[in-house]
Structure 1
Amino acid sequence: MIVRKKFFILSLILFLIVYFLNLSFPHDMPLGEVLISNLGLTARSSTGIHYLGILLLVLFASSLFFLSNSLKKYEIRFILLTIVILIFTPPFFIHAFQRTMATGIYALDYEKERSKCEFEMLDKTHLSGKCELFFVNYSSDPVTYQLTFTEPPFDRPPMVSLMNNRAPYSITLQGNEERWVDLEAEIDTSRMKEYIESGEANGVGIIVKNGDQYREL
């Protein structure tokens, strides 16, 4: 069925590069963007052009080209299968890795879309913040980590980052435990130029650390 072995191998290599650079692990962003950021480069232009996305699209198209030209028959079926694998399997791959090989905070799953924070003024100078964050520890060992909150750079006035008034928060999850973590903070607003008086934030961004281990989620 394979008539050009070199083309098939090249197709597989390009596919694996695209696949792994698209994985959102260990952070809540594609691995490719993390690598580019560590090199001091940017994945997007000021006008919104996604350089990394264009590069990965070109590599994936090249992978499909070499795959098609390496096969004697069933080219369309294999191309469709490759597309399905790229689109649908990354979450399963990440979960399988966390359940079997990951240790420490890399075995943690943070369900960002289910997590939220609420804020309400207690008096003229004090704001109450309460957050509910959902975590799963896929490891059989306890995991202890320190948590701080992040905020989108253009959000004004600041909201979630106000919870860092008491950060870092130390949290421990037992082996194979899943639970809601409730965090509270009383924030002094007397010296703040701008702040919210009430509000709710969903999809809360966080940073978790444990020694040299670091994840943005």
Structure 2
Amino acid sequence: MRFFCKNGKESFFMFGRKWRTTLAAIFLFFLAWIMNARFPHEVQLVDNLFQIFGVPAWSNGTSGLHYAAFLPLSMMALAYAMMVYVTKRPGIMLLVLLLAVGLLPKQQELVRWYQRNFADGIYMLEYKEERSGCTAKTSAEGVRNGTCVVVLQNHGEQPARFEISVYGPSGRKRAAVLTGYPVEVKSRENVRLELPVEPGGQGDIVYEEWGAPRITISSAGKRRDL
């Protein structure tokens, strides 16, 4: 859609010659949206970015004030300000921003698309933590026995061979209850693994049950903490 300004120069809709600013704002918005995806580890991409530069993503380990969240929020605010500068319509741009956030698919759908089309090895795998869990019982002699159910889906066209480690209810703060267990998941397979808990003492804990256990998968020098 085109219209002409009073000086006779042609302009495009409401953006005019500021199309570069418009494209930059759209790019910032989508980049901020993508940063909330959880890949390749259990934490969000923005958290991984902070870790790469040695900056804590949280004020207290993995809890407290989420410093990393301020980056995508700031990028979205900047994108909004740039669009207001271009259009001079703050109300409409706020509505567009809110609609875009609501109508866009979840970030994990983008991750699955990447896993289906471009990923290889352990990066093809999705961990279904909401369907995973462990139970373990420690005898009076201090010997622990149990089972962990871990659900994984391979989105790729190739089988994935790797080693898996599973952690207890305290997560990675304590030693894994299963270490380096070899697994193969066939292409496009959604598999429910029943893995043995390694024997070991648990102090005064007699019976444990925990859901969504933290796991680590590794292969060929690559590692994912999920």
TM-score (norm 2): 0.81
Aligned residue pairs total: 208
Q: Secondary structure at the match of 2:79?
A: helix
**Aligned residue number for residue 184 of structure 1:** 196
Distance 1:113 1:144 in 2: 23
**Aligned residue number for residue 203 of structure 1:** 212
1:75 aligns with 2:75: no
Question: What amino acid maps onto 2:56 in structure 1?
Answer: T
* 1:195 to 1:145, Cα distance in 2 relative to 1, 3 A: farther
Superposition deviation, residue 195 in structure 1 = 5.2
Deviations 1:11-47 (A, max 9, x none): 1232133123222111111111112112222012249
1:14 aligns with 2:28: yes
* 1:85 to 1:15, Cα distance in 2 relative to 1, 3 A: farther
* 1:185 to 1:80, Cα distance in 2 relative to 1, 3 A: closer
Q: Do 2:168 and 2:177's aligned partners in 1 also have CA atoms closer than 8 Å?
A: no
Q: Do 2:161 and 2:219's aligned partners in 1 also have CA atoms closer than 8 Å?
A: yes
Q: Do 1:129 and 1:163's aligned partners in 2 also have CA atoms closer than 8 Å?
A: no
Q: Secondary structure at the match of 2:188?
A: coil
* 1:152 to 1:131, Cα distance in 2 relative to 1, 3 A: closer
**Aligned residue number for residue 49 of structure 2:** 35
**Aligned residue number for residue 49 of structure 1:** 65
Distance 1:163 1:151 in 2: 6
Of 147, 169, 188 in structure 1, the residue corresponding to residue 164 of structure 2 is 147
Identity of aligned residues (%): 23
Gaps in structure 1 of 5+ consecutive residues: none
**Aligned residue number for residue 58 of structure 1:** 74
Q: Do 2:171 and 2:214's aligned partners in 1 also have CA atoms closer than 8 Å?
A: no
Gaps in structure 2 of 5+ consecutive residues: 1-12
Larger Rg: 2
TM-score (norm 1): 0.84
Distance 2:169 2:28 in 1: 33
Choose between structure 1 and 2 for higher RCO, CA contacts under 8 A separated by at least 6 residues: 1
